[in-house]
Amino acid sequence: MIKNKIGIIFLLCFIFFHEAKSSENDIYKKIDLFGEVLEKINKEYVDEIDQSESMDSAINGLLQSLDPYSAYMPPEILNEMQTETSGEFGGLGIEVSMESGVVKVISPIDDTPASKAGIKAGDYIVKINDTQVQGKSLSEAVDLMRGPVGSGIELTIRRRGVKKALTFNIIREIIQIQSVKSDILEKNIGYIRLTSFNENSGDQIKKKIKELKKNNKVKAYILDLRNNPGGLLSQAIKISDFFLDNGEIVSTKSRKASENRKWFAKKGDILNDNTMIVLINYGSASAAEIVAGALQDHKRAILVGESTYGKGSVQSIIPLKNDGAIRLTVSKYYLPSGKSISDVGVTPDIEISESSEGFKLNTETDNQLNYALKLLNG
């Protein structure tokens, strides 16, 4: 009996070792195949190629086959990204991802050239000047959109529900991100507009709320997260905590159990439990969805607008020896209810679609904001 058990254990170990060894051999064969393909291209392709660019494209192809958010960042792209999260950078003012081989706009940023020109969340950029985007990596497409301040660029856009391609001529600017704005609207409604989650957003929103609270007549608040493409997870947690008295804010789950984490609110609601509405739309993504979802799950706020983008994953910037980095999806985040918002987004409590093509945030045509004001004013 014991001999039989030993024999079975030995057989299982042999099978496991054999399969692991076979899998390892397959990987080495693929690496050899890649080298052979690259060599054939260098020798036989009709035009001379830049081997460095070819390798960058191959690395990017590997990463983007995983999901739309993982990507290779050469040193120059990494430097630009670090500038963006600090609150000032040059360009058009849009957050983008790659989908089905074309660049998809996650959200235009308020008061930037892209926003003023009429670029919308969900638009597909199919051509940049005279260059087709199809076949380009996200880094290459972003690089094409950057240029000297004051220079022009032409974007060809495909938009859902519009048959013809749209063309936008935009002048590049230095992008100053003012992530928090506030105002007191009709009948003493406190209005807070959060456009992104950069390293200063939490401190800025706390300051704006304190200013609003000086007016003792403010009876309710609107937090506007529309066209907010997200940003730093730490700021999403910090800002959610401002409005919650206790309970879970968000959790992340990874392939590595040791990296699974949960964040909880500390006691103290900065608005003293005053009525609150959160405005969301398809341009609300990532960190914006964490805040909206947490406040909805805890029944702290009423969500008004449209379903959000559905970017429910966390990316880490992993440095490389060449001073570049890879942006890699390392975990997914989950709302307090346990729901993942990946690809589905956060659904509003009251769905109000944009009224028309003439719709513009914070104007008379902003029917979503107008509905929220009407709701709060009874």
User: What is the per-residue pLDDT across 155-184, written as a single tens digit (0 to 9) for each?
Assistant: 999 998 899 999 999 999 988 777 899 999
Catalytic residue among 201, 311, 331, 366: 311
Q: Token pair for residue 336? A: 């307090």
Domain co-membership, 194 together with 321: yes
Catalytic residue among 104, 297, 313, 366: 297
- Catalytic annotation present for 5: no
Report how far apart the first and last C-alpha atoms of the chain are (Å, whole number): 80
CATH code for position 337: 3.90.226.10
- Out of 175, 192, 211, pick the residue that ends a domain: 175
Alpha helices in 45-164 (DSSP H): 51-64, 75-85, 113-117, 138-145
Is pLDDT of 16 > 80?
no
**Which 3 state secondary structure label does DSSP give 184?**
strand
- At 30, the pLDDT band (50, 70, 90 cuts) reads confident
- Catalytic annotation present for 30: no
Domain co-membership, 151 together with 199: no
Domain co-membership, 306 together with 364: yes
Domain co-membership, 334 together with 214: yes
Domain co-membership, 132 together with 222: no
57 within a domain of the structure (yes/no): no
Look up the domain containing 241 and give its range. Answer: 178-376
Is pLDDT of 10 > 90?
no
Residue 5, pLDDT score: 47
SS (H, E, C) 242-264: HHCCCCEEEEEEECCHHHCEEEE
Is pLDDT of 80 > 80?
no
82 within a domain of the structure (yes/no): no
Alpha helices in the chain (DSSP H): 2-44, 51-64, 75-85, 113-117, 138-145, 201-213, 233-243, 287-297, 367-376
- Residues of the chain above pLDDT 90, percent: 52
What's the pLDDT tens digit per position in 240-250?
999 999 999 99
| Exposure string over 47-81, b if 16+ CB within 10 A, otherwise e | eeeeeeeeebbebbeebbeeebbbbbbbeebbebb
48 within a domain of the structure (yes/no): no
- Residue 362 has a CB neighbour count (10 Å cut-off) of 15
Q: How many domains does the chain have?
A: 2
339 within a domain of the structure (yes/no): yes
| Exposure string over 336-351, b if 16+ CB within 10 A, otherwise e | beeeebbeebbbbeee
Residue 215, pLDDT score: 83
- Residues of the chain above pLDDT 70, percent: 90
217 within a domain of the structure (yes/no): yes
**CB contact set of 263 (below 8 Å; sequence gap of 6+):** 237, 248, 249, 250, 251
- Catalytic annotation present for 286: yes
Residue 114, pLDDT score: 94
Place of tokens 């107008």: 370
Domain co-membership, 126 together with 224: no
Residue 11, pLDDT score: 44
52 within a domain of the structure (yes/no): no
Residue 359, pLDDT score: 81
Mean pLDDT value across residues 307-319:
91
89 or 126, which is more confident: 126
Is pLDDT of 196 > 80?
yes
Catalytic residue among 196, 284, 286, 313: 286
- Out of 145, 175, 205, pick the residue that ends a domain: 175
Lowest mean pLDDT among 56-65, 196-205, 336-345, 355-364: 355-364
Domain co-membership, 211 together with 357: yes
Domain co-membership, 93 together with 139: yes
Residue 23, pLDDT score: 65
- Out of 124, 145, 175, pick the residue that ends a domain: 175
359 within a domain of the structure (yes/no): yes
34 within a domain of the structure (yes/no): no
What's the pLDDT tens digit per position in 330-349?
999 999 999 999 889 999 99
Domain co-membership, 270 together with 371: yes
From the list 98, 79, 99, 100, the residue with the least C-alpha distance to 90 is 79
Domain co-membership, 157 together with 190: no
Domain co-membership, 363 together with 263: yes
CATH code for position 167: 2.30.42.10
Lowest mean pLDDT among 47-56, 83-92, 274-283: 83-92
Distance CA 33, CA 54 (A): 15
Domain co-membership, 200 together with 214: yes
Is pLDDT of 24 > 80?
no
- At 307, the pLDDT band (50, 70, 90 cuts) reads very high
